[in-house]
Structure 1
Amino acid sequence: MALLAAYAVPHPPLIVPAVGHGQEAAIADTIAAYREVARRVAAHRPDLIVITSPHAPLYRDGFFIADTPEETGSLAAFGQPDERVTTRTDLPFAEDVAARLHRRSIPSAGAPASMADIDHGTFVPLHFLEETINLDSVTVVRMGLSGLSEADHRFLGRAITEAARALGRRCVLVASGDMSHKLKEDGPYGFAPEGPKFDRTVAEMFAHGNLEGLFGLDAALCDGAAECGLRSFQIMAGALEATGEPFASELLSYEGPFGVGYAVAAFEIEDAPESTEEEAAAEIVREEDREIGGARGGSPAWPPHPGDDPIVALARASVESIVAQGTVLPLPTDAPEELTGRRAGAFVSLHKHGQLRGCIGTIAPVRKSLAEEVIRNGVAAATEDPRFAPVRPEELPFLEYSVDVLGEPEPVDNLEELDPTRYGVIVTRGHRRGLLLPDLEGVDTVFDQIAIAKQKAGIRPDEQVHLERFEVVRHTAGGEPRRS
């Protein structure tokens, strides 16, 4: 199994009657929608509930993932210490997600002792879920947001879905987050025109399922609205995207009587059967895999044909193994010395009908050999690129492969030392680091190259960065698609 559904919910403590003392009556629609979410979650019979919360431990350069067997919390901070909840953590799942982040060089950590209790952003959803689910019968994994880029939050969502699929979990994701805190002059945070605009924009996205719109929103709009849920919703968007399945979207309610926006939305994965054409294409791929693998006595694309670059052939074999068979390609015993006897960073790029379909790599070597680097980055390019859904088996005959092997980065003292056709560039500011390969279509100047690398790292255009350059050897021989 994998992700079954995802829900966006708010977390006002006063929605709990013991805290609201009757004020909760003013958000009756939110309460009704919350109860509908709880009913739907119970109907899915999950064994795992993941809750992302803005009020869980927040790290600048990594994500909090619960790492203790059990978590407890209360609403003591809101005057109600007797309102308590206890959950069990799915530690293997938490560790799997963390490992996927670490392979992407994204740190994760548990909670410091001072922040070990379940936060109210998690508590409020659990309060409603307890009405329909015995929390002893499910595990809960609490996760936080971070100061990292939108792409990293999207990747965390993808990692959640991929881990659930790999471990066979029936998983439901709850993205906890309030909307704008600037809706009313007499509200606790005052009024700003960006507040209602932000809420209208996001509510419209929820209603129509346009979750791609959650990425790239104007920073001034988000800051002016004083929202707290956007990154949580971006994680949710990444998780839904990684299913590779269509989903039905529904805005169940929206209210803001206290000056803070509360939206409840549901995103249900649709079990859409494959069309006859898709089934036929998938069978062709399976037949090709059987024929090629049988003829060569090994993985679908290994050993390489005469004239094929073994680096490219290994990337193709890695992708076809993980997509068609669901297994990571073992290191071939007959891999040449150029692959097994050296270490280097490498990027595996996939194109389909001339359009990028996935590209993941490592700036510096992190594995024992270039061969292992190519295998692992092939898997990541096909299944973990946060910009795309995982590659499907029926797409394999149409993929084009290339592998860029990186030289050692060297510092750059001035822009005259850069050349976007010859050198790739690395920009670094603190913990944020972005890379752009050389000789890319549409990247004609050094300024274009640096600007795009900054954007990829979540660095503002006006921020100063440390620059490095590197040379690349691009391998393409034998990477042509099998079918045009």
Structure 2
Amino acid sequence: MSIVAAYAVPHPPLLLPEVGQGEERKLQLTLNAYERAMKEAAELAPETVIVVSPHTVMYADYFHIAPGEMASGDFAAFGAPDLRVMADYDEPFAKELAKAASAEGIAAGGVGGRGAALDHGVMVPLSFLETHTTDFRLVRVGISGLSPKEHYVFGRCIARVAEELGRRAVFFASGDLSHRLTPDAPRGFAPEGPRFDKACMKYLEEGDFLKLLRMDPAIYQPAAECALRGLWMLAGVLDARALKIKKLSYQGTTGIGYGLVSFKVMREDPRRSFVERYEMLERRAREERRAAEDDYVRLARRAVETIVRTGKLPPVPAELPEEMTGRAGVYVTLTRDGAPRGTYGTFEPSAKSIADEITRNAAHAARNDTHVAPVTEEELDALDITVDVLSEPELVDGADALDPKTYGIIAESRGRKGVMLPAAPGTETAEEQLRAARKKGGIPEDAEIRIWRFTSERHA
């Protein structure tokens, strides 16, 4: 046996009467769809249920597979401490999955998660499923900061292990779509929110996993979603399978997008294997971006490649464009498939030229950003690089002088500083920008701050 079906499901605890206290009726369409989906899943008689949740243990470069014999959790964080969920783990499956991932060059396993309680991303779908069946064992996995391709390949590993162990299995990708659909949404409104939800539901309903894998980070990052990485994994779980797809529901009435889609496996279909096509298109897109890079980005890339390969800084070119001979603060940002791979910047000049500033900061971004692992040589071709050359910071009186789309900011309090560049994802308002700057600088919410603003000349 193998994967017999997969489902994209949301996980609002509000759906459960013990939590919703009547408010769940606002999501009646989603409730009805959930009941239909779980009744159908139970009728498939799965021996193993695999759930990927964005709220379980997560690492930048590692897929967590929950270890142990069993786990439980409750909804105390949502006002219902007596509502509990328990599940026995499929330990042999979890162990074989870690081995299968390793064989593909993907790090995965149970590090850091022994004894961890079930999270609501797992408990909500299980709460509905267990009204129809409890005759299954659970495999609980997390998402990661790795690329769409690696999520897809990890999904393929899940399907392969199910087949090798002879498990009749059902996969659930648990995640909510945009949290920014309306002005009263938890994260406020962003135009990318509705755009993301519309595109995501379209790709799922059409089974267009290639477009799902290649979705633009400029859309999904500001949308504040927690579903996409699990959906990349779902696409891999269903690799090379002909599917019967049904959109069960979509609602965004609370400002958060909740979509349910079912995928029933019909037969094998090699034409529906997407990873090779994804790699070809991504390689072509990278080549086009590289060809369009200007002197600023090329200089940063040279510094990154040299420091990673040799451990040394390259010399600054003797002949520089005139605009790179002056002095300014510079931020260099490295990303891979939309995920952060290093950032380093100076909001005031510390080197003798902009070119020198770029070289130093690019090398620091590649090797010394403590929030991510150092860039490896294998990643160099896949890196996207952005260089921001900053204007001189200007002290302002308060939030009224800010515009996140135009100005970056420096928030300072008692020697602590937090910096946000202009047009950063998730900062639509001055308040959001200030909150993010405080967080970056470790500045308490109630601490008095001084604020500087600056503009940025962006090169990408």
- Normalised to the residue count of structure 1, the TM-score between the two structures is 0.58
CA distance in 2, matches of 1:115, 1:461: 40
Matched, 1:174 2:172: yes
CA distance in 2, matches of 1:431, 1:212: 29
CA distance in 1, matches of 2:66, 2:170: 16
What's 1:52 paired with? 52
What's 1:287 paired with? none
CA distance in 1, matches of 2:113, 2:54: 18
CA distance in 1, matches of 2:131, 2:123: 13
CA distance in 2, matches of 1:10, 1:434: 38
What's 1:460 paired with? 384
Pairing 1:73-472 to 2, within 5 Å after superposition = 73-110=73-110, 112=112, 116-134=116-134, 137-241=135-239, 244-271=240-267, 386-387=275-276, 411=310, 430=373, 433=376, 435=378, 453-454=381-382, 459-462=383-386
Deviations 1:421-456 (A, max 9, x none): xxxxxx9863554649xxxxxxxxxxxxx5xx22xx
Q: Alpha carbons of 1:70 and 1:114: their partners in 2 closer, same or farther (altered >3 Å)? A: closer
Q: Conserved in 2, the CA contact under 8 Å of 1:48 and 1:169?
A: yes
What's 2:397 paired with? none
Q: Alpha carbons of 1:113 and 1:197: their partners in 2 closer, same or farther (altered >3 Å)? A: closer
Q: Alpha carbons of 1:75 and 1:410: their partners in 2 closer, same or farther (altered >3 Å)? A: closer
Q: Quick one: which amino acid aligns to residue 269 of structure 1?
A: V
Q: Which runs of 5+ in 1 are unaligned?
A: 279-356, 358-383, 390-408, 417-426, 437-449, 464-484
Q: Conserved in 2, the CA contact under 8 Å of 1:57 and 1:111?
A: no
Matched, 1:32 2:28: no
Q: Alpha carbons of 1:91 and 1:385: their partners in 2 closer, same or farther (altered >3 Å)? A: farther
What's 2:330 paired with? none
CA distance in 1, matches of 2:225, 2:61: 20
Q: Conserved in 1, the CA contact under 8 Å of 2:68 and 2:115?
A: no
Matched, 1:61 2:61: yes
Q: Which runs of 5+ in 2 are unaligned?
A: 279-307, 316-340, 342-365, 368-372, 388-460
Q: CA offset at residue 114 of structure 1?
A: 8.9
CA distance in 1, matches of 2:159, 2:119: 23
CA distance in 2, matches of 1:67, 1:128: 23
What's 1:361 paired with? none
CA distance in 1, matches of 2:256, 2:217: 19
CA distance in 2, matches of 1:96, 1:2: 14
CA distance in 1, matches of 2:128, 2:166: 26
Q: Quick one: which amino acid aligns to residue 101 of structure 2?
A: L
SS state at 1:45 partner = coil
CA distance in 2, matches of 1:256, 1:388: 33
CA distance in 2, matches of 1:35, 1:214: 26
Q: CA offset at residue 115 of structure 1?
A: 7.2
Q: CA offset at residue 147 of structure 1?
A: 1.1
CA distance in 2, matches of 1:45, 1:114: 28
What's 2:14 paired with? 14
SS state at 2:259 partner = strand
Q: Alpha carbons of 1:271 and 1:114: their partners in 2 closer, same or farther (altered >3 Å)? A: closer
Deviations 1:8-45 (A, max 9, x none): 00000111110001111011111111111111111111
Q: Conserved in 2, the CA contact under 8 Å of 1:155 and 1:385?
A: no
Q: Conserved in 1, the CA contact under 8 Å of 2:210 and 2:274?
A: no
Matched, 1:5 2:1: no
CA distance in 2, matches of 1:385, 1:100: 19
SS state at 1:174 partner = strand
Q: Conserved in 2, the CA contact under 8 Å of 1:57 and 1:115?
A: no
Q: Alpha carbons of 1:225 and 1:36: their partners in 2 closer, same or farther (altered >3 Å)? A: same
CA distance in 1, matches of 2:165, 2:275: 20
SS state at 1:246 partner = strand
Q: Conserved in 1, the CA contact under 8 Å of 2:175 and 2:227?
A: yes
Q: Alpha carbons of 1:432 and 1:165: their partners in 2 closer, same or farther (altered >3 Å)? A: farther
Q: Conserved in 2, the CA contact under 8 Å of 1:48 and 1:139?
A: yes
Number of positions where the alignment pairs a residue of Structure 1 with one of Structure 2: 303
Deviations 1:305-337 (A, max 9, x none): xxxxxxxxxxxxxxxxxxxxxxxxxxxxxxxxx
Q: Conserved in 1, the CA contact under 8 Å of 2:67 and 2:114?
A: no
Q: Alpha carbons of 1:11 and 1:111: their partners in 2 closer, same or farther (altered >3 Å)? A: farther
Percent of residue pairs identical: 37
SS state at 1:461 partner = strand
CA distance in 2, matches of 1:111, 1:70: 16
Q: Quick one: which amino acid aligns to residue 14 of structure 1?
A: L
CA distance in 1, matches of 2:74, 2:66: 17
Moved more, 100-109 or 74-83: 100-109
CA distance in 1, matches of 2:8, 2:159: 16
CA distance in 2, matches of 1:169, 1:432: 38
CA distance in 2, matches of 1:223, 1:113: 27
SS state at 1:74 partner = strand
SS state at 1:11 partner = coil
Deviations 1:144-183 (A, max 9, x none): 0111111111111011001111111101000001000000
CA distance in 2, matches of 1:410, 1:190: 43
CA distance in 1, matches of 2:153, 2:119: 23
CA distance in 1, matches of 2:198, 2:28: 20
CA distance in 1, matches of 2:37, 2:377: 39
CA distance in 1, matches of 2:376, 2:94: 25
CA distance in 1, matches of 2:48, 2:133: 12
SS state at 1:127 partner = helix
Deviations 1:206-246 (A, max 9, x none): 211112211121111111111110000000001101xx221
Matched, 1:70 2:65: no
Q: Quick one: which amino acid aligns to residue 163 of structure 2?
A: R
CA distance in 2, matches of 1:138, 1:240: 20
Q: CA offset at residue 104 of structure 1?
A: 3.0
Q: Alpha carbons of 1:139 and 1:431: their partners in 2 closer, same or farther (altered >3 Å)? A: farther
Q: CA offset at residue 410 of structure 1?
A: 6.7
SS state at 2:74 partner = strand
CA distance in 2, matches of 1:93, 1:17: 33
